[in-house]
Structure 1
Amino acid sequence: MQESRPVPFGFLGRIDAAIGRIEVLILSWGVILMAVNTIANVFGRYVFNQSIYFSEELNEFLIVIVTFMGLGYATRKGIHIRMSAIYDVLPIKVRKALMVLIAATTAAMMAVLAWYALEYVQKVASRGRITPALQLPLYLTYVWVVIGLTLASFQYLLTALRNLNFAEEEIYVSYLEVDSYEDPETAAAIRRHNEAAEEDQ
């Protein structure tokens, strides 16, 4: 639904690129480990009649990692579901201003959620609770919620900053992804509508 632009130069561009590489690495290995763990557990259960005792707990841990690291990744790629029927027919500058407002508001909400999640992680850590099977500190599971929400907040902030340049016609749904349509008929219809709206102004 979106088309990629070259990575912008500068400090923010380098940070964004570095975080992107880390996210891909963590998500890739998280999915691979879940698959290997599940297959090994099924193999052990039906071949050796013995399940891996920590398999379920490990998968729960990996699901939390993949879910919340995936939140930042989806934000980076601009692939979150959006309700844009009204937004799509607005003039470009209005849409750009709305994107700044939406991204900035979402960044603030993600930051608030990350703060509350951090407080919860600190409470869990202070109680010294551990997981039943792996005997790991329980807070290590929940800390990924904080990381994921923080990364999502950072990505939405970058989106808001990227759209502050009203001299550019492109509207960015993330720091790198331009809001566009793959369907040429839809894209042409929206373009005609916007051109007509600009002529009327």
Structure 2
Amino acid sequence: MARIERAFVALNGAILVLVLMGMALILGWNVAGRYLTGNSLTWADEVARYSMIWLTFLGSGLALREGAHAAITNAQDALPTGGQRALRALILVVLFSFFAFMVWVGVDYMNRMAVQRSAALRVPMKWIYAAMPVGFALMIVHLALIAPRYWRAGLQQSDEAALG
């Protein structure tokens, strides 16, 4: 399972790197073309905007995994071990519920935008808005993979052995 998890995280990261590289190449080409030839790509800004949207949603699961989202742990740290575990369980339930709700909302919104097309690329906006349900679905997977470690976080070694 750990091997599958590492592969999943590596694949998620590799996709982010590729999308960011593509965005940087297109924007670099556009800037160079604008200053060297006086012409620019009409669709470059749109590609950059939509790439940034996808990067945000695809990367949010990795940020969740690394604890990079905002968190206030003072109340949690002040609780005894049992209280910490209960609070973490509640947080996990709320996060799973919210992420699932956002997948549902994202799919609904994506389907509503199916007829609209982007201005420069003429791509159906459905594919741009697909970033939201895909990103939240990835967050569900990442959360499911780290949930056991998160739930046990803060326990002493002796406490973990006793809970076995």
Which of these residues, 132, 146, 149, is aligned with residue 119 of structure 2?
132
The structure 1 segments of at least 4 consecutive aligned residues displaced by more than 4 Å after TM superposition are 161-164
Moved more, 14-23 or 66-75: 14-23
Q: 1:34-73 to 2 correspondence within 5 Å?
A: 34-73=23-62
| 2:135 matches 1:148 | yes
Residue segments in structure 1 that go unaligned for 5+ positions in a row: 1-9, 165-169, 172-178, 181-190, 192-201
Measure, in 2, the Cα distance between the counterparts of 1:100 and 1:17: 24
Which of these residues, 11, 14, 17, is aligned with residue 6 of structure 2?
17
Percentage identity across paired residues of the two chains: 27
Which residue in the other structure is 1:174 paired with? none
Which amino acid letter does the alignment assign opposite residue 147 of structure 1?
V
RMSD after superposition: 2.2
CA drift at 1:38: 1.7
Alpha-carbon spacing, 1:30–1:79, altered in 2? closer, same or farther (3 Å):
same
More helix by share: 2
| 2:78 matches 1:82 | no
Is the CA contact 1:130–1:136 (under 8 Å) kept in the aligned structure 2?
A: yes
Superposed CA deviations along residues 23-56 of structure 1, whole A, max 9, x for unmatched, are 1011111221222222111111111100111100
The structure whose RCO (Cα within 8 Å, separation 6+) is larger is 1
Q: How many residues are paired up?
A: 156
TM-score, normalising length: structure 2:
0.84
CA drift at 1:120: 1.2
Residue segments in structure 2 that go unaligned for 5+ positions in a row: 157-164
CA drift at 1:163: 5.2
Measure, in 1, the Cα distance between the counterparts of 2:112 and 2:5: 31
Q: 1:100-179 to 2 correspondence within 5 Å?
A: 100-125=89-114, 127=115, 129-162=116-149, 170-171=152-153
